[in-house]
């Protein structure tokens, strides 16, 4: 992981217990299946400004239990496809967290940073170095382990597995 190790973006700050129904409404789960169409519904029932003003590499900063509720993968896909740079939260619901990593969307747990970061400010995340820099200071999070970095580099779990398989085939 090198070229995308540094993420600079503007912050969209939200509270606690934001569930997958407001991140990607349930009514679209069976009508919108193309990932490219998903960003237009992102956070529709939480913050209508997001789709209008969001720029690639922007960063969502949230409280506890971000992404709770349904396990729907679209709640991650819609943000990934919109070009979101990362999610920084006090905590992330278990399946949502796994879906982020498997979709190669950086999801970082750093409660102190969440406290310090203001809505709308620009922050910088160094994935490799494990730091978040904002106006309120610099905060560290445990660097993402090798195994997870490899999934990011491959672009997600499906391409990662494909690569692994090819490697296993050529080495045998």
- Single out the residue of 12, 97, 139, 152 in contact with another protein (rule: CB under 8 A): 97
Token reading at 147 = 């195994």
Q: Which stretch binds another protein (CB under 8 A): 23-31, 77-85, 123-131, 137-145?
A: 137-145
Q: How far is CA 16 from the centre of its chain?
A: 16
Q: Are 66 and 91 in contact (CB under 8 A)?
A: yes
Sequence-ordered list of residues with C-beta below 8 angstroms from that of 117, at least 6 positions apart, any chain: 11, 13, 61, 88, 123, 132, 134, 136
d(CA 156, CA 115): 30
> Which C-beta is closer to another protein: that of 31 or that of 172?
172
- State in angstroms the smallest separation of the CB of 135 from another protein: 27
Does 68 engage in binding with another protein (CB under 8 A)? yes
Under the rule (CB under 8 A), what is the footprint of another protein? 17, 65, 68, 71, 73, 91, 93-95, 97-99, 101-102, 142, 144-145, 147-148, 151, 157-158, 160-162, 164-166, 168
């Amino acid at each position: 992981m090198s070229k995308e190790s540094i993420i600079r973006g503007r912050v969209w700050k939200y509270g606690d217990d934001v569930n997958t129904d407001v991140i990607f409404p349930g009514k679209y789960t069976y009508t919108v299946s193309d990932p490219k169409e998903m960003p237009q519904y992102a956070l529709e029932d939480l913050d209508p400004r997001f789709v209008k003003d969001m720029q690639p590499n922007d960063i969502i900063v949230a409280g506890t239990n971000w992404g709770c509720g349904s396990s729907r993968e679209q709640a991650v896909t819609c943000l990934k496809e919109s070009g979101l740079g990362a999610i920084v939260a006090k905590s992330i619901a278990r399946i949502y967290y796994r879906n982020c990593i498997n979709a190669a969307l950086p999801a970082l747990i750093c409660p102190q940073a969440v406290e310090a970061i203001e809505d709308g400010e620009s922050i910088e995340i160094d994935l490799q170095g494990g730091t978040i820099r904002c106006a309120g200071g610099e905060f560290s999070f445990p660097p993402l382990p090798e195994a997870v970095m490899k999934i990011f580099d491959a672009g997600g779990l499906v391409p990662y597995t494909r690569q692994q398989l090819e490697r296993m085939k050529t080495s045998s």
